[in-house]
Structure 1
Amino acid sequence: MNGLSIRGLTRSFPGQGRAAPTLALQPTDLDVRPGEFVSILGPSGCGKSTMLRIVAGLDRPTTGSIHWNGQSVTRPGRERGMVFQSYTLFPWLTVEQNIEFGPRERGASAAEARDIAATFIARTGLRGFERHWPRQLSGGMQQRTALARALANDPEILLLDEPFGALDHQTRELMQELLLEVWGADRPEQRKTVLFVTHDIDEAVFLANRVLVMSARPGRIKTELSVPLSYPRDWMVKTSPEFAAMKARLMSDIREEVRRAALG
């Protein structure tokens, strides 16, 4: 099938000394359709970031397989773009140069890379900051740059690991709206596939077509919740009864798993 297909995925980490290995992920199956936006929630240590890193090709599964559009995933590839909570910008490059980096690495000319960077600088609200160094930017502006850099590579799927976790509440909400805009909330035919890891229930529901809840470690997908809210969305949807009902259900599931993790 086209899109993302995960089958029987597990990940076990070796123990230190005589300690037993730690099973981070139980056998996990997941399908994500092209253009779908899927959020993943779960208690700390449940394996959600581990699964994302395996999809990115940054880690290897212990067992199981991952396919993107029918091709086996075993290493990083330009069809998969990753954005981390830490901004991971090159401090020796300007905003514009950071965004140009991917296109230049894949063979674009200087003029082509500059044009690509200009497009995503405009789409992510970075005009006027092209010549700034990362250290001169606020956290929100650094994360805009990281998002623009990922998009400049024209990936088919975006993998986002708590990208707004370090931001203040107001900046975080603005970044959520920006992400929906660049994802193509009002342009269904242009939408990229997104797998988004977060601890924030409001964020998960606001952004996604579908929300997954993972159990306490060893992680497995415990709950799948379709989000029937239409796009484009603005912040007012968070005040609706439908939103409140979905949030309550997810909060109940997550509280149960957090208690399990705390009690061992």
Structure 2
Amino acid sequence: MSELVIDGVGRTFPGVRGGKPTTALQPTSLTVPENDFVSILGPSGCGKSTLLRIVAGLDHPSVGKVVLDGREIRGPGPDRGMVFQSYTLFPWLTVEDNIGFGLREKGVPENERREIVADYIDRVGLHGFERHWPKQLSGGMQQRTAIARALANNPKILLLDEPFGALDNQTRGLMQEMLLGIWEREHKMVLFVTHDIEEAIFVASRVVTMSARPGRVKSIIPVDLPYPRHYTIKSSPEFSALRSQLTEEIRSEAILAAQEQ
């Protein structure tokens, strides 16, 4: 079974022009087993995105290590799919070519590549937009394309950094449901960074809260709500209780963060 182990990972950035170094992330540990969907919550600047970038191999820890399936992560790799808040599509490629980009880089034969791309276009609801350019798409459709591109490579873990943060509330809710639907079918490991408490609860099997900077794992709260989840679960007493608990957790850290500014 696949497993991600974050083992004592910390990150300190050197000071600018000889200034004082900045510790963004205290040594922190977390284990994510196969099929687990983990949301990461915390105040701004607590190191959530730094931790995600280290797992992606886009940054390197100052201390500690990240191990995926027994192999230490030392750089980017196809076993991890990353989706950012900004729409990081190639503007010169169509929807289908963006989704198939990684497959083409890996040398997947054209016929097989087209089948995989068509499958993910259907899964994210982009049928009829295969030949559109990114500039012709709404923000939600661009993120659907980015998620499909990440998943088409069949990564072991999907890493999402505020992927719906720039979307309006209605589109954001629909994207949450789409992502959950895909996860319920594929059951990949997911690390999902968000500032939105309600979003964190709705999608995740566990919510990890982080302290104010320098960040560390403060608590790990299981979300004992059954899958598949319908949006109406957000009005249930169980959901409301989790939202209240997490609001208190994050509020106390946000106050600390504001006092340090």
Give your verdict on TM over 0.5.
yes
Residue in structure 2 matched with residue 116 of structure 1 by the alignment: 116
2:132 alignment partner, SS class: coil
**Structure 1: 4+ residue segments shifted above 2 A:** none
Query: Are 1:239 and 2:212 an aligned pair?
Result: no
Q: 1:213 aligns with which of 205, 209, 212?
A: 209
Query: Are 1:86 and 2:86 an aligned pair?
Result: yes
- The residue type paired with residue 261 of structure 1 is A
Residue in structure 1 matched with residue 126 of structure 2 by the alignment: 126
Residue in structure 1 matched with residue 10 of structure 2 by the alignment: 10
2:90 alignment partner, SS class: coil
> How much has 1:110 moved relative to structure 2?
1.6
Residue in structure 2 matched with residue 104 of structure 1 by the alignment: 104
Residue in structure 2 matched with residue 228 of structure 1 by the alignment: 224
> How much has 1:87 moved relative to structure 2?
1.2
Pairwise mapping of residues 15-94 of structure 1 onto structure 2 (< 5 A)?
Answer: 15-94=15-94
Query: Are 1:203 and 2:199 an aligned pair?
Result: yes
> How much has 1:142 moved relative to structure 2?
0.3
> How much has 1:227 moved relative to structure 2?
0.3
- The residue type paired with residue 117 of structure 1 is V
Query: Are 1:251 and 2:256 an aligned pair?
Result: no
1:35 alignment partner, SS class: coil
> How much has 1:17 moved relative to structure 2?
2.1
C-alpha separation in 1, matches of 2:17 and 2:108: 48
C-alpha separation in 1, matches of 2:85 and 2:227: 25
Query: How far does the alpha carbon of each residue in 1:78-125 deviate from its partner, in whole angstroms, 9 at most, with x for none?
Result: 110000001100000000100111111111112211111000000000
Report percent identity of matched pairs.
Answer: 63
Unaligned runs of 5+ in 1: none
Q: Does the 8 Å CA contact 2:38/2:192 hold for their aligned counterparts?
A: yes
2:93 alignment partner, SS class: coil
2:16 alignment partner, SS class: coil
C-alpha separation in 2, matches of 1:263 and 1:100: 47
C-alpha separation in 1, matches of 2:139 and 2:222: 31
Query: How far does the alpha carbon of each residue in 1:13-43 deviate from its partner, in whole angstroms, 9 at most, with x for none?
Result: 0111232100001110100010100000000
Cα RMSD after superposing both structures: 0.9
| Change in 2 beyond 3 A, CA 1:6/1:178 | same
Question: Normalising to structure 1: TM-score of the pair?
Answer: 0.97
> How much has 1:251 moved relative to structure 2?
0.5
Residue in structure 2 matched with residue 180 of structure 1 by the alignment: 180
C-alpha separation in 2, matches of 1:176 and 1:234: 10
1:54 alignment partner, SS class: helix
- The residue type paired with residue 228 of structure 1 is D
Q: Does the 8 Å CA contact 2:197/2:246 hold for their aligned counterparts?
A: yes
- The residue type paired with residue 90 of structure 2 is F
- The residue type paired with residue 245 of structure 2 is R
Residue in structure 2 matched with residue 169 of structure 1 by the alignment: 169
Query: Are 1:260 and 2:230 an aligned pair?
Result: no
C-alpha separation in 1, matches of 2:102 and 2:182: 18
- The residue type paired with residue 15 of structure 2 is G
C-alpha separation in 1, matches of 2:177 and 2:231: 8
C-alpha separation in 1, matches of 2:236 and 2:4: 31
Q: Does the 8 Å CA contact 2:2/2:156 hold for their aligned counterparts?
A: no
Unaligned runs of 5+ in 2: none
C-alpha separation in 2, matches of 1:242 and 1:207: 14
- The residue type paired with residue 142 of structure 2 is Q
> How much has 1:47 moved relative to structure 2?
0.2
C-alpha separation in 2, matches of 1:119 and 1:17: 50
